[in-house]
Amino acid sequence: MTEIAVTPPAPLWRRLIGFNLLTGIVLGVGGWYVGWFGAHAVVGPSLDYFGDIDYNELSIYLAYLGGVVGFLVGLGFLNYPLARLRGYPPSLREKETQGLGRYFSLCTDHKVVGIQYLWGIGLFFFIGGLNAMLIRTEQLTPHNQVFPVGTYLTLVGMHGTMMMGMMTSGILGPFANYLIPIMIGARRMAFPRIEALTFWILMSAGAILTTTIFFGGFPTGWTGYAPLSNQANAGMDCYVLFFALVGISMTLLGLNMIATILTMRAPGLTWTRLPIFVWGVLSTAVLMVLAAPVLIAALSMEAFDRTMQTHFFVQAAGGSAYLYENLFWIFGHPEVYILALPGFAIVLELLPVFSRKPLWGYRLAVAGLLGVSLLSWFVWQHHLFVSGINGDLRPFYMLSTELISIPTGFTFLCGMMTIWRGNIRFTVPMLFCLAWFFNFLLGGLSGVFLSDTPSDITTHGSFFSMAHFHYTIMGGLVFTFFAAIYYWVPKMTGWELNERLGKIHFWTMFIFFNSTFAPLFAIGFLGQPRRTPVYPSNLQFLNDWVSVSAFLLGISMLVFLFNLVWSLAFKKQPAEMNPWASRSIEFQLPSPVPVHNFDRIPVFSSDPYGYGEGPPPVLVPAGAPAGSD
Amino acid sequence: MASEPTASQAPRDSTNHGLRVIVAWLVLSAIATPLVAIFVGPLIPPGNASVQGQGQVFDNQVMTSMITPVLCLLAVFFGYGLVKFHARRSEAVLDGPPIRGDSQIQLLWVVITSTMVLFLAGFGTYELLKDGAGGGQGPNPIASPSGHNPFQVQVIGQQWEFTYRYPSLGGLESDQLYLPAGTDIELHVTSLDVIHSFWAVQLGVKADANPGVDNVAYVETKSPTTFDVRCAELCGLWHPYMFNTGHVVTQSQFNAWAAQQKKLYAAIAPYMNKPSQDGGAPFAHSYLPSPGGGSPQVRAG
């Protein structure tokens, strides 16, 4: 596959103390203690009457910041800047690595980062899913019986925060990092080290959130509303650090994507020839870059409130709880479209391949993606319809929220008309894409009830809204995430995934997903608020139905996990170069894609959707092994 | 668009599939929409315990009727399309016709969706401004019921219970919520600590309780009934247990209840409803609604 001249590998002990995950963890733990003791040295004397408390808020923040810096230094993120300071020439040396070890160290190959993201995010997705199983266990009875209430609230908060935080990069992390350079005919991202940095920051963030259980958890759910967060115990700091780090990772990831797409497209790849997936990534990246800094700002203020008593959000001291709600949702509403838009793009990208037809209404599809991206900035106060924050503006936010269904409708129209009169193959990725229509339709139509202020007054903050966003995010994002896995992982790893297990996974997931979340609409209408283990006993039958379905949904995920491990680690059936007969450029390259992607930069003469329009144009000259130029 | 079919392309199909789908959709919608509007819509909560709740039921009825044709369209489209256009298993991969778009369909789609959206927004705005729809509107409400002569109740949230204060009963405070039937109620929702949300489920009332903010919501009760009150905003450890039952009772029952409560709290009555500098209890609730619904005034506790 690759024939780069490599120096003979160093002895094992030398590799172990090099810059890799091991040194990262060692320095991370070291940095943690430096921060911890440092903060005690600074703050300790002034807190003498709290002398029996072995931590203070500042020590937690400094410990984790020290830990993250130590971790990144240990991975080798300072090596290159320091080398440049000492006068070494620019290089991408970290890319020229081989073997399994590169997945556990700083690597600037966008394909390695993509696969790192896939497994890293998959791990935290799994943890978040386990939290959901525990939540549903508690919901089996109308009384609080399984977990202490505080533990239950922490589970709810961890599930929501983990999913919303980690899955923001659920598609842009693995698939955009891997595919965008290939799709636009480039050999790398614009900023390969920043690309690697986003991944390792995200992983340290996930680890920090998991440690909240050692500090007593946090009671606020994923929204982290002040002033409840001001009075919460130290587990709250883990939430604040997690989301702020996720925000940094998102901002950098988005910047990198925008820079790459704007500047590194190959000759001939005009804006109307871009794969629709690239448009989806671009519209998402713009949201990431503009929304995540607001989150970082809000959480910094929260951190100051908790460590230095700045009272940004404390009404009695001149602050405002509305300030946090406003800042959070200015980030939070674009955030949900950061989750949804890549799903739209994947559906539109895959439908032409499996319908054997060009993408219908390309310009309308692009307008739909950009329109959603733009409108998502004008809707955030629909999360505050009953808060009394600004009663006069509710008609405006009602209108703007409902307007979003117009560009979303473009995606539906283009997708449906692409299927129309096609030659549909029901492969596993296609099934997941078709399920997207069903799920997102129900999610969108239930959103109509929530956008209408009078109707929202009953459904706001109830299980109805919870069912709504699970239909849009799990039904919209997670289904397309799996579509992307079944579609692209054979290309990324070079090994096929088992199709029969894939179909079992799809059908069980589709059936039990709907069986889990559809009854929640009714439960919400009947008066069960979110985030409570105590509910009216007449709702027990529906809740038990939901819980059992949720467990079966969890088993469906185990089918997927088994398929992934079995196919990639044991069966190892080599994947064909183009198993789906796709005209997209990544399928004209060998599986897995060689280190330097292309022998020569391709020249594009059309978009990748010319099905039925004659033989595909030869984009990539075949021949010499990659890396030979 | 009109390129020559290649060897690997499926033979051209001259059936008018589009017409079939549209006819089937129109028939199905014509049957399903009235059924949904008549039988499903009225079943949707919150029910008819208050004028505002009834308004929400009507809203839900209209919206359910509007989304039914949309559901029918996608059901017919995918039901027909996936059966009709799927590839035969034995065939090699054949390409479909290279149709890249149709500006008339696009225009029609944009016009139809925009019309529906604008209608929904206009309808929702009208329903909201008619009587406030039971939602919290902040200190300066823009929508109040017609013939407005409200009975004021203050709802004070704290971790983890609601206290109800009746200014017209001499500042009586109780942990029970009793409302007279057939009355226009003005709720002033506030909080002493973190954000709560006052949700009177069957009345269709929801208003966040923010510290230091007077959040006004209107509800017109109808006949006597009971309703559930829950906190709908996560407010800390015992949030799950922050609920009780409210009562709508006749005026005479309400007067009897008020007299009984006054007797119960007679001993502390002299300290209630007074700012602390006048000798009132230091824990007197800091927040009183100003009669005109104007900007809130904090009375330090």
CB-based contact, A525 to chain B, within 8 Å? yes
- The count of domains in chain B is 2
CB-based contact, A419 to chain B, within 8 Å? yes
Q: How confident is the model over B185-197, as a mean pLDDT?
A: 92
| Nearest-Cα residue of chain B relative to residue A610 | B98
CA distance A614 to chain B (A): 6
Asked if the model's pLDDT at residue A104 lies above 60, the reply is yes
Cβ atoms of residues A619 and A582 within 8 Å: no
Put simply, the chain B residues between 98 and 127 with a CB less than 8 A from any chain A CB are 98-102, 105-106, 109-110, 113-114, 117, 120-121, 124-125, 127
CA distance A188 to chain B (A): 32
- Chain A residue numbers with beta carbons less than 8 Å from the beta carbon of B75 are none
CA–CA distance from A45 to each of A2, A40, A42, A49, A237 (Å)? Answer: 60, 8, 7, 9, 22
CB-based contact, A530 to chain B, within 8 Å? yes
Q: pLDDT of B46-91, one tens digit each?
A: 888 999 999 999 999 999 999 999 999 999 999 999 999 988 766 6
| ipTM reported for the complex, 2 dp | 0.90
Residues B130 and B155 in one domain: no
> What pLDDT score was predicted for residue A2?
46
CB-based contact, B141 to chain A, within 8 Å? yes
pTM for the structure as a whole: 0.92
Asked if the model's pLDDT at residue B185 lies above 90, the reply is yes
Euclidean distance between CA atoms B144 and B157, whole angstroms: 23
Asked if the model's pLDDT at residue B5 lies above 60, the reply is no
pLDDT category at A246 given cuts 50, 70, 90 is very high
Task: Mark yes or no for CB contact B201/A321 under 8 Å.
Answer: no
- Residue at B8 is within a domain: no
Residues B64 and B172 in one domain: no
Residues B198 and B64 in one domain: no
Q: How confident is the model over B152-157, as a mean pLDDT?
A: 91
Residues B235 and B124 in one domain: no
Instruction: Name residue B187's beta-bridge partners.
Output: B153, B217
- pLDDT top residue among A220 and B276: A220
Asked if the model's pLDDT at residue B197 lies above 90, the reply is yes
Q: pLDDT of A330-344, one tens digit each?
A: 999 999 999 999 999
Put simply, the chain B residues between 198 and 237 with a CB less than 8 A from any chain A CB are 199, 201-202, 204-208, 210-216, 228, 230-237
Task: Mark yes or no for CB contact A413/B212 under 8 Å.
Answer: no
Q: pLDDT of A351-379, one tens digit each?
A: 999 999 999 999 999 999 999 999 999 99
Q: Sketch the domain layout of chain A as residue ranges.
A: 13-101, 127-146+159-308+319-588
Task: Mark yes or no for CB contact B208/A534 under 8 Å.
Answer: no
> What pLDDT score was predicted for residue A299?
96
Instruction: Name residue A380's beta-bridge partners.
Output: none
CB-based contact, A322 to chain B, within 8 Å? yes
- What are the tokens at B67? 């989304």
Provide the CATH number for the domain around residue B229: 2.60.40.420
CB-based contact, A391 to chain B, within 8 Å? yes
Q: Can you list the alpha helix ranges (DSSP code H) found in A76-109?
A: 79-85
**What letter would DSSP give residue A189?**
-
| Nearest-Cα residue of chain B relative to residue A144 | B240
What top-level class would CATH report for the domain A127-146+159-308+319-588? mainly alpha
C-alpha torsion A340→A344→A350→A354, nearest 10: 120
Of A121-125, A452-456, A501-505, B295-299, where does mean pLDDT reach its minimum?
Answer: B295-299
For residue A157, give the nearest of A224, A211, A214 by alpha carbon: A224
- Chain B residue numbers with beta carbons less than 8 Å from the beta carbon of A150 are 237
| Nearest-Cα residue of chain A relative to residue B77 | A416
Task: Mark yes or no for CB contact B136/A388 under 8 Å.
Answer: yes
- Residue at B66 is within a domain: yes
Asked if the model's pLDDT at residue B172 lies above 90, the reply is no
Residues B199 and B118 in one domain: no
Of A59-73, A87-101, A168-182, A506-520, where does mean pLDDT reach its minimum?
Answer: A87-101
For residue B114, what are the domain limits? 17-86+102-134
pLDDT category at B94 given cuts 50, 70, 90 is confident
In angstroms, how far is CA B157 from the centroid of its own chain? 20
Q: pLDDT of A187-215, one tens digit each?
A: 999 999 999 999 999 999 999 999 999 98
> What pLDDT score was predicted for residue B276?
43
Residues B230 and B193 in one domain: yes
| Chain A to chain B Cβ contacts (< 8 Å) | 294
